[in-house]
Amino acid sequence: SLIIDAHWRAQRLPGAYRGAPVQGYSNAPRAVMWMPAPMPIPNCPPGLEYLTQIDQILIHQQFELLEMFLSFETNNKYEIKNIWGQRIYFAAEETDCLTRNCCGTQRPFTMRIVNNIGQEVIQLLRPLRCSSCWCPCCLQELEVHAPPGVPVGYIKQTWDPCLPKFTIQNEVHEDVLKIVGPCLVCSCFGDVNFELKSVDEICTVGRISKHWSGILKEVFTDTDNFGIQFPLDLDVKMKAVMIGACFLIDFMFFEDTFLAGCTSHRS
C-alpha cells in the first residue's frame, strides 16, 4: 500500500477563514487511512459528501524516482487528505508520454480523482493554452466535472500585468470567487500563498498555500505539498473547483524543478 510521508500538524479552524496560515508537515511515515465515507446527501454530487465536513485540505504529490534521475516527466499522482491525515481522494494525471515531455508544464491534461472504492468522482480537464501574461487572449483555464461529464465549475486565469489572478466560476460561468497570488512566486525558503477572495477582491475568505518542502526536494524534485482553506459552508461544488485550482497553480508555477524556486509572474 501507499505510504503517507507527510501529515497535517494543525488544529482545525472551523467555519470561515481565520487569517492563520495553513500548517506544515512532519516526515513521520504513516499507513494509509481513508476518511470514513459519509452518508449520501440530497442535491450533492455523488462522492463530494466528504467535502461538506471540512474547511481545509492537504494535497501531497507523490515522489517519482524516474523524474529525479532521468529528467523524464511521468504522470503526476497526488493524495488529497483532511487535516487528520486521512485520505479523502487519490488523483492521477492522464497524459500521453509525448505530450508530457514535449509540452512540459504547459501540457493539457485530464486529472482523474477517485474515492476509497476507486470510483471517479471528480474529473479535471485542462486544455492547451499560452503561458505568457503578455498574451491575454489565450490564458490558462481548467474545467471541473463532478461526476465526469457533469461540469460544476471553471477556473480561468484573469489577465493582470503584475499579479497572478484567477476567477472561480460556477457551472453557468458566473463569477463566484477570485484567487490572487504574489507578484514574485518564490518558494525559496518559505510558503507561497494564493489568497481566496470575494469577487470584488475586498474580503479574503481562504487561501491556497504551496508549502516549503526543504532545499533538496525544492531543487531536485517537483514533488509539491499544498494546503487549501475555504469556508466550511462554501458550496461543495466550489470546494471541488478549489481542488482543481490548486492543481492548475501547481502546474503553472511549481512543476518546473529549476524554476519553481523563484518565478516571476511574467515568466
Per-residue pLDDT at 160 exceeds 50? yes
Locate the domains of the chain by residue range.
3-264
Q: From CA 95, how far away is CA 83, in angstroms rounded? A: 30
Decide if pLDDT at 26 tops 60. no
How high is the pLDDT of residue 149?
96
pLDDT for the residue numbered 106: 76
Contact 177, 196 (CB under 8 A): yes
Q: How many other CB atoms sit within 10 Å of the CB of residue 192?
A: 22
The percentage of the chain sitting over the pLDDT mark of 70, rounded to a whole number, equals 71
Q: How far apart are CA 68 and CA 190, in angstroms?
A: 22
Q: Is pLDDT of 111 > 50? A: yes
Task: Decide: 188 and 213 in contact? Cβ < 8 Å.
Answer: no
Calculate the average pLDDT of the chain: 80
Q: So what's the pLDDT on residue 130?
A: 65
How far is C-alpha 220 from the chain's CA centre? Answer: 21
Q: Say what the pTM is.
A: 0.80
116 DSSP 8-state letter: T
Of the ranges 73-87, 92-106, 248-262, which is most confident? 73-87
Q: How confident is the model at residue 30, as a pLDDT?
A: 56
| Structure-block grid coordinates of residue 240 | 471541488
Which residues is 114 bridged to in the sheet?
Answer: 90, 120
Q: Are 224 and 250 contacting, i.e. CB atoms less than 8 angstroms apart?
A: yes
Question: How does pLDDT run across 113-148, given as a tens digit for each residue?
Answer: 999 999 999 999 999 876 655 666 778 999 999 999
Instruction: Tell me what the mean pLDDT of segment 152-174 comes to.
Output: 94
